[in-house]
Structure 1
Amino acid sequence: MNLFSSFDPSTNFNLSLNWMSTLMFMIMIPSMFWLIPSRFNVLWYKILYILHLEFKILMNQKGATLMLISLFSFILMNNFLGLFPYIFTSSSHMVMTFTLALPLWISFMIFGWLMNTNHMFTHLVPQGTPPILMPFMVCIETISNIIRPGTLAIRLSANMIAGHLLLTLLGNTGPMLSMMLINILIITQILLLILEMAVSIIQSYVFAILTTLYSSEVI
């Protein structure tokens, strides 16, 4: 043993594990910096960038698009997971959809009424309303504002439930059909599954874009 023996590439396990330190830095660097992105990654980044530009037009707050893109991605992944057999569709239950919609709506309302009180009052009476109809318009606008989280939650859950119920009801009729009708049923189920994929994307986009529109009214 001498002073330079600490630099010997050997360990107590009779393996040269010390050489692992040569590539250790690659674990600490995110893969996006040293791996070529796949086509799926490129497509996903383009989709997120397009959503960012669209949300940015509707919202004046910098950085707020990140929250809405995350919301869109979360709902989209849950909708798609629900299309696989034996996987629980969480986005078809009001417990989840209402939990997403209510905190966002409450935060928008608190911010709007505390920071832009006059702006919120002007929204209760549309421009050009006759004076005699103003009390009724205030009531109607208040009710429509209060039910917004409920409509957001019901829209998402009802659309997910409807497609799944249709697929289940058609699938349960399979044992009672002839071979010819079973082939037609399988083709119909495949077409409905493609439609459900489109609905999963559309509903997540609708949820995110309506949240953006509601937030733009209070800013």
Structure 2
Amino acid sequence: MSVIPRPELVVGDDGLARCGWGASSDEYRRYHDEEWGTPQHDPTRLFEKVCLEGFQAGLSWITILRRRPAFREVFHDFDAKRVAAMTEADVERLLGDERIIRHRGKIEATIQNARATLALDVPIDLLLWGFAPAPRSDAPASFAEVPATTPESTAMSKELRRRGFRFVGPTTMYALMQAAGMVDDHLSGCFRAAAAPGDARESGDELELEG
């Protein structure tokens, strides 16, 4: 890979400019290219994101991403009805499963969040997307411009907590907004950035490669 002479962007062997973190591993590259920042409205996948962002708290996202197939297996592909029916015996069983994050509070929160999802008086996708901010006018130039929380993520956190969800703090909910495409935090020049001109394969001074 070659680094673009602009912070935090990398050009891969396919000629595409990416946010630097999206080029750090094969798993991150697929996640960056195909999922992160893509608008997601499927209720099951949004419920999954709520739960996995909660599991990520205090950990790197790659830790969760590499375990996502196992999470999907043990939590019934995040079918909220099946997760809501899980019992204390299931919790104890999962605490012994080395393929996932063995954190009692987060496992129990996933089950509680399923029950809270089923109790909603609106579909979860409508509830979550109701907090999506207006699109950015310009893509961020660096991750220093990307906030950890926003008024919208704070409001989302407060409402979800009111409705019985757990592990849904403002920072976690902003990460959810990024992952589900409610905000587009791909950097300016990244081929995935909605506000970036061109498709980031362009040559010339702006994307001139080093070495």
Normalised by the shorter chain, which TM-score bucket?
Answer: under 0.3
Q: Report which of the two structures shows the higher radius of gyration computed on alpha carbons.
A: 1
TM-score, normalised to structure 1's length? 0.27
TM-score, normalised to structure 2's length? 0.27
The structure richer in helix per residue is 1
